[in-house]
Amino acid sequence: MSGPSTFVPKSALGRWFESRLPIMGLIHGSFVAYPTPRNLNYWWAFGAILSFMLVAQIITGIVLTMHYTPQVDLAFASVEHIMRDVNWGWFLRYAHSNGASMFFVAVYVHMFRGLYYGSYKAPREVLWILGVIIYLLMMATGFLGYTLPWGQMSFWGATVITNFFTAIPLVGDAVTTWLWGGYSVGNPTLNRFFALHYLLPFMIAGVVVLHVWALHVVGQNNPAGVEVKNVDRDTVPFTPYATIKDSFAVVCFMILYAWFIFYVPNYLGHADNYIEANPLSTPAHIVPEWYYLPFYAILRAIPSKLGGVTAMFGSIAILAFLPWLDTSRVRSASFRPMYRIFFWAFVLCCLGLGYLGAQPAEGGYIIAARLLTAFYFGFFIIILPLLGIFETPKPVPATIADAVLAKNGGAVMNPAE
């Protein structure tokens, strides 16, 4: 879609520079002239919201490191120091801790949007897989970051999650000792987690560049799920149309974000994390942050250790195979009546698993978690492949312009005409 840029700088200096490093042309081609489908709804704004959250997390994170101490005897105290003594420290810390949650809220909406509108289908498989990699890096970063305040949940969350690696046959214990730098989670662990927590966001930023690059090669999907056929009729330039729409969406999202920072800053956290880590006393229930709960429920649903860990990682890895598991030729759920039902069932399944992940692992909760785990995998392995064969899709509009016309009752005129 984005061919060689036709951008020509207006000033002579600009032209001189552009002929040596065509960076203005690159930016112009990617964020100004780049054609976006004209029928995108606000669910497509979450890419911009995610970019904003990544930048917000990196900036608040960098300034927090100027006050934080990654040492087991001092870490908890240094976070309290940030909250009590550092100028605006309470704001920076709440913005960062709630920012992680907002980041995951946005990424889940973004992923479910992709799932609903079939954004992973050819030719967007690589784009989708890069997204799965970003999501994995986000999960790793979030986990590492949650360790740093060195509260009870930090410590025991880190203990439970690093113990996943002991499930690896033969080398599991050696790998875990290597990760810890000792025989349990301790000071070397905290130190390296801090180093890696600082590193990973920049790796995320790197993969985001690839993700956006891949997006600009194949072009955006859209609610109709049909490809752009006529750039003039089907698309609008990124700037000003998408820019202003995304800006509005980002600011609306910031209202939500601000609400959490200023009025319910501890709502998404765990009270136990205000108790300093104690390696000799395990809290009654160890629960991860809310954004990991569905996977935690899957882990606990399987009665064997290796099986549970495998199922948990498998539940994320299976996302990477989605483009080939979904056999339907129609992208958008708008034209797939049966898929739409299963999609919402899948959303409910994930929410249910999330709820169960927060409950004690006993009795009825375990049985429910097993049923939902079965549905989770069944959705990918059985339902999606079969739906493509048995489902009769509704007629798909020929072009994006037709889809817009149908929606607006024929009142649409193209600015280019």
Partner 1 sequence: MISFKSISLAVAISAATFSLAQSSALAQEGGHGPTPHMEKWSFAGMFGTYDKAQLQRGFRVYREVCSACHSLSRLRIGNLADEGGPGFSEGQVKALAAEYQIKDFNDKGEPIQRPGFPSDNFPKIFANEDAAAAVHGKAPPDLSVIAKARSYSRGFPFFLLDMLPGVAYQEHGPDYIHALLNGYTKPDDTKWNEYFPGNQIAMPKPLSDDQVDYTDGSPKTVEQYSRDVAAFLMWAAEPKLEERKRTGLNALIFLFIFAGLLYFTKKKIWADAH
Partner 2 sequence: MTTASSVEPTRRDFLFIATGAAGAVGVGAVAWPLISQMNPDASTLAMASIEVDISAVPLGAIMTVKWRGKPVFIRHRTPKEIQEATDVPLAQLPDPQTDKARVQKPDWLVVVGICTHLGCVPIGQAGSRGDYDGWFCPCHGSQYDTSGRIRRGPAPKNLEVPAYSFLSDTKLKIG
If the CB atoms of residues 312 and 404 are measured against partner 1, the closer one turns out to be: 404
HSE-CB of 245 using CA atoms within 13 angstroms? 19
Which listed residue (121, 197, 300, 336) binds partner 2 by CB under 8 A?
Answer: 300
Indicate the residue among 76 and 120 with the shorter CB distance to partner 1.
76
Per CB under 8 A, does 73 bind partner 2? no
Smallest gap from Cβ 38 to partner 1, in A, equals 6
CA triple 281-295-116, angle to 5 deg: 155
Tell me the CB-side half-sphere exposure of residue 301, using CA atoms within 13 A. Answer: 28
Under rule CB under 8 A, residue 280 binds partner 2: yes
Taking CB under 8 A as the rule, does residue 361 contact partner 2?
Answer: yes
Q: Does 358 bind partner 1 (CB under 8 A)?
A: yes
Query: What CA–CA distances, in Å, run from 193 to 84, 165, 273?
Result: 24, 16, 17
Among the listed residues 258, 317, 341, 382, the single contact to partner 1 using CB under 8 A? 258
Residue selected from 290, 313, 321, 377 as contacting partner 1 according to rule CB under 8 A? 290
**CB atoms < 10 A from the CB of 389, how many?**
8
Residue 303 binds which entry of partner 1, partner 2, none, CB below 5-8 Å type-dependent: partner 2
Q: Contact between 390 and partner 2 (CB under 8 A)?
A: no
> Which of the ranges 211-219, 310-318, 355-363, 395-403 carries the binding residues for partner 2, by CB under 8 A?
355-363
- Determine the 3-state secondary structure of 218 from DSSP: helix
Note whether 275 binds partner 2 by CB under 8 A.
no
From CA 286, how far away is CA 291, in angstroms rounded?
14
Q: What is the DSSP letter of 276?
A: B
**Of the candidate residues 56, 126, 212, 275, the single one contacting partner 1 (CB under 8 A):** 275
Q: How far is the CB of 206 from partner 2 (least distance, A)?
A: 20
Give the DSSP per-residue string, 388-407. HHH--PPPPPSSHHHHHHHH
For residue 19, CA distances in Å to 2, 8, 15, 34 come to 19, 10, 6, 21
Residues 100-129 that bind partner 1 (CB under 8 A): 101, 105, 108-109, 112, 116
Rounded Cα–Cα distance for residues 120 and 42 (Å): 18
Residue 37 bridge partners (DSSP): 235
Q: Which tokens is 140 given? A: 């790793």
x/- binding map, residues 311-350, to partner 1, per CB under 8 A? -----------------------x---------x--x---
| Stretch of 8-16, 25-33, 204-212, 252-260 lying at the interface with partner 1 (CB under 8 A) | 252-260
CA atoms of 165 and 151, how far apart (whole Å): 22
Among candidates 53, 101, 50, 61, which has minimal Cα distance to 267? 101
Nearest-CA neighbor of 127 among 135, 119, 116? 119
Residue 178's binding partner out of partner 2, partner 1, none, with CB under 5 to 8 Å set by partner kind: partner 2
Q: Which of residues 164-183 bind partner 2 (CB under 8 A)?
A: 164, 166, 177-183
| DSSP one-letter code for 123 | T
Q: For partner 1, how many residues bind (rule: CB under 8 A)?
A: 68
Choose the one of partner 2, partner 1, none that binds residue 192, judging by a C-beta under 5 to 8 angstroms depending on kind. Answer: partner 2
Q: Which of partner 2, partner 1, none has residue 282 at its interface (CB below 5 to 8 Å by kind)?
A: partner 2
CB of 182 to partner 2, least distance (A): 5
Calpha distance 75→81 (Å, rounded): 10
**What is the dihedral sign for C-alpha 215, 220, 221, 227?**
negative
Q: Taking CB under 8 A as the rule, does residue 367 contact partner 2? A: no
414 binds partner 2 (CB under 8 A): no
Q: Single out the residue of 258, 196, 167, 204 nearest to residue 51, CA to CA.
A: 204
Alpha-carbon distance 320 to 131, whole Å?
9
Examine residue 74 and tell whether it contacts partner 1 (CB under 8 A): no
Determine the Cα angle at 97 with ends 300 and 188, to 5°: 70
Residues interacting with partner 2, by CB under 8 A?
156, 159-160, 162-164, 166, 177-186, 188, 192, 279-286, 300, 303-306, 308, 360-362
Residues interacting with partner 1, by CB under 8 A?
38, 41-43, 77, 80, 83-84, 90-91, 94, 101, 105, 108-109, 112, 116, 223, 236, 240-241, 244-245, 247-248, 251-252, 254-255, 258-272, 274-275, 283-285, 287, 289-290, 293, 334, 344, 347, 351, 354-355, 357-360, 408, 411-413, 415
